A and B are shown apart, each in its own frame.
Chain A
């Protein structure tokens, strides 16, 4: 190129700018990780018997001096605290991908019927005792997982009836949300009082049934999903410019959406299966991440997972401290503390991202 219209000043150096953008992403992620570590320790320390934070930190690091503290931390509280992190990360990540592939700020597993599908699957086992050769503790998660997959396939199926445009996919999701809510209401209508109570508590969401095996399963799904998504990071970023532009850049948009939906299904399925339906985290965590790191998916996806984990961990602490002597269901707390926080964030944000 010989003709140059403008002269680049020193401040316009692209390499320096790129380093600054990458540095900002790293600072946000490192700060988030530090906050997450602090929140984890605080979550473990909080409970019916308050434990000293230094003792908890020592126990987590394997330097415990008090065997009672060690037993409470490792047997009871750590699985719950880690489950909050893992489920929050799964919900935040799935919300982030959904908002990207549907180019819609209201998209999340909760708002587009995937969680409702999982809830219906769980209620089927509780009310009808659908024959699955598993103990009930595993049959409910299995059916929730299965129906989360069915809901994802349904969203994609309805959306693809007219070209798989983001608008059609969102409409498909809204339709399924109402369908599964109606089916769930029908099950609640015919359920016995005991089953009804069980369904309601399941739908509230709870971390209290945390076990190490459940934690390993969610962690394994996260450990596979995030690298797979990062392989598609630039293609997903291109999708933010619109389907046509992404296709013009060489992205096979239909295949990318199918791959992404499969990962959303696994992440949401495994999260909802073990703790029930938890709203808000999957919707809000990606917004917070976007405000801080922008929409380069190499930063947005890990940040969505990180802030999802942080939100649910903070909610877990709040659930144990809001009402003395009681643990408020986590699904209620996420919205109670999350909504004011989110509104405050949106108001103080200088830029409009949608």
Chain B
């Protein structure tokens, strides 16, 4: 599903969170959104998900009469609800769920739980999980809806490095294989450089640049947007490695 964003602006009262955002995310593409804290990244994702009032235009182009199905994972993963992991993941299919849960819904829940290595936790309550485990559960919830647009707001912020890699591998693989469109907010420039097909940089509510990781993530951008001197090198697999040296 193609996502076309034109002149998008978001205001919270008198505060302008985003303005003049024009972007396109293509099917089969992982778009990483990076930027400093408070730059408007979450507002962008919420505006695309239809969760905040915005002006401008957000259009979804689906093929073959397909309907937009958005899997949204918010940044806040706190929850003490007395719900099991399985019940939380089933909620991802809210639109289809009846009083009796159908075998299809259970099968999809099983698939995503398996994919994210959560099978052993399916019967545990959310309040009993660590922050990282909860993050995986809410990612599973977003995937359970069989989305054609995946919107992830910092999905790996609470994960250890192994799970960070594994989750990003799954997200990239699903996106490429199923032709999903994935827009993911990330703080780690190395992860963005390694797993994203394109990177959009947001600063002070404006789109600074958008393009291939190697073209976007370069020392002058890191210095001007993040206020950090950084050195660029190549990892053994050829991906970009960003080393933060000192605040500017």
Which residues of A approach B to under 8 Å, CB–CB? 1-9, 12-15, 17-18, 20-21, 230, 233-235, 237-238, 240-242, 244-245, 247-251, 290, 294-296, 298, 351-354
A205 to chain B, nearest CB (A): 30
* Complex interface: chain A residues within 8 A of B174 (CB): 1
Residue from the list A240, A250, A296, A354 in contact with B95, Cβ < 8 A:
A250
Q: Which residues from A are CB-within-8-Å of B73?
A: 248
What 1/0 flags go to B82-114 for Cβ under 8 Å of A? 111011100110110101010100110111011
With both chains docked as a complex, state the minimum distance between the C-beta of A16 and any C-beta of chain B, in angstroms. Answer: 10
Known contacts A249-B91, A251-B94, A352-B80; decide if A4 and B99 are in contact (CB<8 Å): no
Q: Which residues, 140 to 184 on B, are CB-close (under 8 Å) to A?
A: 141, 145, 166, 169-170, 173-174, 177
The 6 closest A-B pairs by CB, nearest first: A6-B117, A12-B119, A14-B110, A248-B72, A8-B119, A5-B117
A-B contact pairs, 26 of them (CB 8 A): A1-B111, A1-B170, A2-B177, A5-B115, A5-B116, A5-B117, A7-B114, A7-B119, A8-B114, A13-B110, A14-B86, A14-B109, A15-B106, A17-B123, A20-B123, A21-B84, A21-B87, A238-B94, A241-B81, A241-B88, A242-B76, A248-B49, A248-B73, A249-B94, A351-B125, A354-B80
A294 touches B84 (CB 8 A): yes
Shortest distance from the beta carbon of B137 to any chain A beta carbon, whole Å: 10
Known: A5-B166, A251-B94. A353 touches B80 (CB 8 A): yes
Of B49, B115, B120, B127, which is within 8 A of A351 by CB? Answer: B127
| In the complex, B122 has a CB within 8 A of chain A | yes
Taking A6-B114, A244-B76 as given, write out 19 further A-B residue pairs in contact, using a Cβ cutoff of 8 Å, ordered by the A residue number: A2-B177, A3-B170, A5-B116, A5-B117, A5-B166, A8-B113, A12-B113, A14-B106, A14-B119, A17-B123, A20-B123, A234-B94, A240-B81, A248-B49, A249-B92, A249-B145, A294-B125, A295-B82, A351-B128
- Measured CA separation A7–B113 after assembly (Å): 10
Query: What 1/0 mask marks residues of chain B from 41 to 84 whose CB sits below 8 Å from any chain A CB?
Result: 00000000101000000000000000000101110100111111
Nearest chain A CB to B30 CB, angstrom units? 15
**Is A17 a contact partner of B86 (Cβ separation < 8 A)?**
yes
B51 and A248 form a contact (CB under 8 A) = yes
User: Is B23 in contact with chain A by the CB < 8 A criterion?
Assistant: no
Asked whether any CB of chain A lies closer than 8 Å to the CB of B228, the reply is no
Known contacts A17-B123, A238-B91; is-contact A295 B116 (Cβ 8 Å): no
